[in-house]
Structure 1
Amino acid sequence: MELADIRDWVKTLSVGDHFYIGKVESKKERSVGVYQRQISGRPNIALGGLECTKTASKQVSILIHWNKYANETEEAAQVMYDRIMQVTDLEIAGKHVNYLKLDVPEPIDVGTDDNGVYERVIWLTLYYER
């Protein structure tokens, strides 16, 4: 499962007008970005080795880069968060996602960018079938 696959799924949540992965120099307002999070710890391998390991995980950060109004940015981020919480069945890139773990209790306010556009972040871990 790659970031582009997760970005494509995030698009289906219908929050935002522009979607990207990685660094974008000139982000447009009402954009949503998907980034790889720093991974801590070691991989979980089942007893018996990798061939017996049935699941893998992907830790991502979803950045909601909205506009110059803090309240509208907060509202858009909360809509995204709520839609993630309501997912009942999910397949990404042909892999069944068994579990979505929201790693923060609400979208995190990360302030503004250099142009005064407010941003919020949602941390998410996807556990999926290998």
Structure 2
Amino acid sequence: MALTATDLVIEARSRIREIAPAAFAADHEGAVLIDVREPAEYETGHIPGAINIPRGVLEFQVDAHPAVAGVSDPALSHKARPIVLYCRTGGRAALAALNLQRMGFTDVRSIEGGIVGWEAAGLPLTQR
């Protein structure tokens, strides 16, 4: 039986840790916050302090793959460093979190509900 995108997200969520927006806002010391949405989405508003590494290139950024011109993002250089991911509603971030875990990252979480959940909790966005 073929899996759907929804099936993949459900499986990923069962294997990762999610953090409530308010919990992350209250205590995120030392964590790298990565917005895995596309650049145009990021520019419409993002969580303060987030860096944008789109879902489509995230895994390639870890190993300085030729697909990203052999460049690795410094945010992904320490596999024990806490990483928190988010997207619009949490699906892409869950898939990304699972893959980073598979790649040896030991402290990866996803913001529950993504940026939609963040906004619903009344937390601020920035466009800088």
Structure number with higher strand proportion: 1
Q: Larger RCO: Structure 1 or Structure 2 (Cα < 8 Å, ≥ 6 residues apart)?
A: 2
Which protein has the larger Cα radius of gyration, Structure 1 or Structure 2? Answer: 1
Structure number with higher helix proportion: 2
Q: Common fold, TM-score beyond 0.5? A: no
